Amino acid sequence: MSETINLLLVGTWQTIYMVVVSTLIATIFGVPLGVLLMVTDKEQILHNEPLNKILGTIVNIFRSVPFVILLIVLIPFTRLLVGKAIGTTAAIVPLSVAAIPFMGRLTETALREVDRGVIEAAQSMGASPFQIITKVLIPEALPSIAAGITITTINLVGYSAMAGVIGGGGLGDLAVRYGYQRFMLDIMLYTVAILVAMVQLIQFLGDILVKHLSRNR
């Protein structure tokens, strides 16, 4: 029994570690990516057709490769970045690479919802594109961006279940190795229960954050 608990604790910790760190990385890179995708598009403040096309294509490519394949394809890149290709820390690399374009698209969508008139008002006051991004676009879209981060985090919980492929561990890996391969049904059930609780909690916290950010609006 205590061994089961130990396994679950380690698995839970590994999942949290992978999800939290890759969510952070996905936000740090994905939000600026989304900004770039939005502002370089047609009729936007920094319209740049070639850049927009290139970024859009890269994002689409990464989003269309199944995550399991991405895990393997990225092994050399992971080794280059963190010095090893297997383990929980190593799994953060493919998780982040998968989540950055996702977060980018969600951010782009959030920014598109900002009222065109508000952007124009800022332009009419002589705001620079950088000022429009930092003082108008991001603050105005913040609740939607926060909702996007919530979705990305939940997605990463799902993706992290496949981290076992490169020895990343985590709850999903636990369910597969013990629950499925060794027929330890109780472990299977516990891991699923913990994952469900985790997703519920993330959604709950995310909703609170979004609500807080959109108060008074």
Partner 1 sequence: MIYIRNLTKVYHSASGNVRALEDVNLNIEKGDIFGIIGLSGAGKSTLLRCINMLEKPTSGSIEIDGVEMTRLSPSELKEMRKKIGMIFQHFNLLSSRTVRGNVAFPLEIAGLNKRAIDKKVENLLELVGLSDKADNYPSQLSGGQKQRVGIARALANDPKVLLCDEPTSALDPETTLSILNLLKDINRELGITIVLITHEMNVIKQICNKVAVIEKSRVVEQGPLIEVFKKPQTETARNFLKSVTLSEIPKELKDKIENLSHEHLEGKIIKIAFFGEITTEPVISSIIRKFDVDTNILYGNIDHIQGMPYGTLIVELRGKNGETDAALKYLKDLGLDVEVIENV
How near is the Cβ of 149 to partner 1 at its closest, in Å?
17
List of residues 6+ apart from 40 with CB closer than 8 A: 46, 47, 48, 49, 51, 52, 55
Is residue 125 within the footprint of partner 1 (CB under 8 A)?
A: yes
- Letters for 95-124 (x = contact with partner 1 by CB under 8 A, - = none) are --------------------x-xx-xxxxx
Q: Look up residue 184 and give its DSSP letter.
A: -
Nearer CB in complex with partner 1: 148/169 = 148
- Give the span between the Cα atoms of 109 and 41, in whole angstroms: 12
Q: Which of 128, 180, 182, 211 binds partner 1 (CB under 8 A)?
A: 128
Count other C-beta atoms under 10 Å from residue 8's C-beta: 19
How near is the Cβ of 107 to partner 1 at its closest, in Å?
16
Site size toward partner 1, by CB under 8 A: 20
Single out the residue of 105, 170, 94 nearest to residue 144, CA to CA: 105
SS3 195: helix
Kindly identify the residues of this chain, within the stretch 139-198, that bind partner 1 according to CB under 8 A.
139-140, 142
Distances (CA, A) of 71 to 66, 74, 107: 9, 6, 24
Is residue 217 within the footprint of partner 1 (CB under 8 A)?
A: yes
Q: Which of 47, 53, 135, 212 binds partner 1 (CB under 8 A)?
A: 135
Residues in contact with partner 1 by the rule CB under 8 A: 115, 117-118, 120-128, 131, 135-136, 139-140, 142, 216-217
